[in-house]
A and B are shown apart, each in its own frame.
Chain A
């Protein structure tokens, strides 16, 4: 009986860290990054930019007000005085607003025709070296 009680208590306590973080960030209005979710959090210089730094979970600050959100879902926050972008899967966040609906219309799917053109990929040809064909 005691074991069962302990188990139930443990299960009930599992979501506590996120909830506790949520509580701790209650004083911040609007969208907030509560804490790190993955062992490391990558910081980017732009929504579709380059990784500029990686912070360990323990070193990642909690309760960061979200400055903005990019269309590609990246989140802008200030970490150690620097404005950076973080991927949403790496952090626990409290977000408001409606997420875009994800749906695929089967009725519109064409299975007997396809586009007869090649997408312009924007790739450059490899640079030719002097003296080589």
Chain B
């Protein structure tokens, strides 16, 4: 009958220690914190931080970091130019309408003439980024349908963007064009907090039956058709677009651009300095993909520069007109015509040989979302930091009492060690992130939180927070400092 009373006494004592702990006992216990406790507590904290995304701050920070990284590092210095000279854009703009004295919308015949002029320049393929969906009376529709046939006879693939939100039963493209054999693609783009950073990997089928059974979005469909020797990687979820910034500065390609420069050539430190005060100041005014005004096509003159931008290239035919609202905000250009989003997505696919950066990591048959991948990536970082921290705990445990009153040299050395500690956490996390990018193609936005959380973990270890929690918990549970190991 004595045991329940004894247990009750222990619980009452623990309850008492919970409110009024013995600080000396706690401090003694904290110096004997076990490794598994430090590691487990830090992993739990990091996991919570990564998975919970409180107030969306993590997502915001990640995406902004992606933008800054693209604007300052990957865009101007790292993104290869592999795909740049394989894609062009032919653009209808306000100036096009003004020069040709044509109103908007154009009739089908005008588009047919522009496309025919383009065909005469021998492009590799043409993607029409205009929606021909509304039923309107226009006798020239047969001209455009005839142009579809002309492309087919010339062996030049011609794709048409098709509507994705038409009423049930309505065709996504004029029936006459479908009947002529127009190939339809899904032109959906993605907007995240107003910015275009991602691109869909899948789209609507529009009645087609691809060999692999997966209907792809516009850029992926074009890539799959035109680059069969570099097949698409198994893509899950979304593409993360890396925006190129090195516009081709050959005067032939930029001769109609006046009043500014397309050059982004400046030393890295200068770029960082400007961006420190205003990131917008280092954006590029010119799109990465070469483009030419459609009126150059309509003029029919033998313009060698336009011919060079069309011959053998995949040409996107689109428009950038006020009030048509087909514009997108990008991290490196600001507001530009959405046709450049498709062009850049295709450029990414060509440059990365069908394995673009993504927001998921695929390891064998397993596909991990960015959060689980980040939790997995941070575990080795935490294990290393915790192991190093244990060495510090052991040193403190062995230090004789009163030794804390040391000279200025020791004080400075201690602060330097703290700084080095944070840098180590940063370096380890950066290393883990780069491994994720290089091996699994995970975008910077999807691992950068590992860096932030590692810095927080490093700070928590610096302030011995896991040790203090252990000291408190151990003291409350047992009432006495843990015995010295023999």
**A residues near B, CB below 8 A?**
37-38, 42, 44, 48-51, 71-73, 87-91, 93, 99-100, 102-115, 117-119, 121-124, 126-127
Residue of A with least CB distance to B321: A119
Contact bitstring B287-312, A, C-beta under 8 A = 1, else 0: 00000010111111100000000000
The stretch of B23-31, B267-275, B322-330, B437-445 in contact with A is B322-330
For the A-B complex, the count of residue pairs with Cβ-Cβ distances under 8 Å equals 136
Contact bitstring B107-149, A, C-beta under 8 A = 1, else 0: 1011011001100100000000000001111011011001000
Alpha-carbon distance A91/B299, docked complex (angstroms):
11
Using Cβ atoms and an 8 Å threshold, which residues of chain A touch B296? Answer: 102
Alpha-carbon distance A73/B297, docked complex (angstroms):
10
- Given known pairs A50-B109, A51-B142, A72-B100, the reply for A87 and B117 (CB within 8 Å) is yes
- Given known pairs A111-B283, A112-B335, the reply for A73 and B259 (CB within 8 Å) is no
**B residues near A, CB below 8 A?**
93, 95, 99-102, 104-105, 107, 109-110, 112-113, 116-117, 120, 134-137, 139-140, 142-143, 146, 170, 256-262, 280, 283, 285-286, 293, 295-301, 321-325, 327, 333-336
The answer to whether A106 and B102 touch across the interface, beta carbons within 8 angstroms, is no
Alpha-carbon distance A8/B95, docked complex (angstroms):
43
- Given known pairs A48-B102, A50-B143, A51-B146, the reply for A88 and B109 (CB within 8 Å) is no
A37 to chain B, nearest CB (A): 7
The answer to whether B335 and A114 touch across the interface, beta carbons within 8 angstroms, is yes
The answer to whether A106 and B260 touch across the interface, beta carbons within 8 angstroms, is yes
Using Cβ atoms and an 8 Å threshold, which residues of chain A touch B257? Answer: 103-104, 106
Q: List 26 A-B contacts (CB under 8 A).
A: A42-B143, A50-B143, A71-B102, A72-B298, A73-B295, A73-B298, A73-B299, A89-B113, A89-B116, A89-B297, A90-B116, A91-B300, A102-B95, A102-B293, A106-B257, A106-B259, A106-B261, A106-B262, A107-B259, A110-B335, A113-B335, A118-B323, A119-B321, A121-B105, A126-B134, A127-B135
- Given known pairs A89-B300, A102-B296, A114-B335, the reply for A122 and B105 (CB within 8 Å) is yes
Contact of A104 among B107, B116, B293, B333 (CB under 8 A): B293
- Given known pairs A49-B140, A105-B259, A106-B259, the reply for A88 and B301 (CB within 8 Å) is yes
Contact of A106 among B109, B143, B286 (CB under 8 A): B286
Residue of A with least CB distance to B292: A102
Alpha-carbon distance A33/B139, docked complex (angstroms):
27
Residue of A with least CB distance to B298: A73
Using Cβ atoms and an 8 Å threshold, which residues of chain B touch A118? Answer: 323-325
Using Cβ atoms and an 8 Å threshold, which residues of chain B touch A71? Answer: 100-102
Contact of A115 among B110, B117, B322 (CB under 8 A): B322
